Amino acid sequence: MSDPSAVLDRLDAAEDAFSHAAGRPAFEPNVNAAPDADAGEVALQKACRLLTVAHDLEQVGDYYGAMLESSFIAIEHTLQSYLLTLTGVAEHDLRDHDRPYELAKGRVPLTADTIDRLETLYDARRTDHYYGTTVTTRKQATAMRDLGSSVHDHIVGFDQTLGTFCNCLDNR
């Protein structure tokens, strides 16, 4: 058995895209792609973009699963940004989805109880959605979008440095 040429051609193109084989890359707008970006800057700007898309998706149609995913990931990136920017946590310590929650306790301006609840919500609901057969409802999607925005806004508002990285507060 051989793989279809369309799959192999697209796989080659994807590998080339990640190696920038086709020349100067066009990076995502509003995310600092410079090699000297501050620690936490890119993670926060990714969170901003994910929250913007979570809000915009409601206008596009009933993409509840995408809203849910974007919101959960935005919370994770926001925690990562705070940890990288203000606590000295190393990037390689954040490569697991549960680590930002674990490392956030006592370091991020939320109580350990709230962080535990966020992590439990992530483990139970995001994992069920992603790996299971559950289907997201509108109420779940908008609740997560609003939660993601609230967590992001609170954490960004807690420190001026994060505020300088944020590019979404006025865009939602």
Residue 110 belongs to some domain of the structure = yes
pLDDT of residue 125: 81
Question: CATH code at 68?
Answer: 1.20.120.330
Residue 153 belongs to some domain of the structure = yes
Q: What's this model's pTM, rounded to 2 decimal places?
A: 0.90
Residue 27 belongs to some domain of the structure = no
pLDDT of residue 72: 95
**pLDDT tens, position by position, 122-168:** 988 877 777 777 889 999 999 999 999 999 999 999 999 999 999 98
Q: Which domain holds residue 87?
A: 39-165
pLDDT of residue 170: 58
Residue 136 belongs to some domain of the structure = yes
pLDDT of residue 60: 93
Residue 32 belongs to some domain of the structure = no
Residue 170 belongs to some domain of the structure = no
pLDDT of residue 172: 54
Number of domains in the chain: 1
pLDDT of residue 171: 53
Per run of 10 residues, the mean pLDDT along the chain (length 172 residues) is 91 88 82 92 96 93 94 97 96 92 97 96 80 87 96 95 85 54
Q: For the chain, what percent of residues have pLDDT higher than 90?
A: 72
Main-chain phi, psi angles of 2, to 5 degrees:
-125, 155
Place of tokens 């090699």: 35
Residue 123 belongs to some domain of the structure = yes
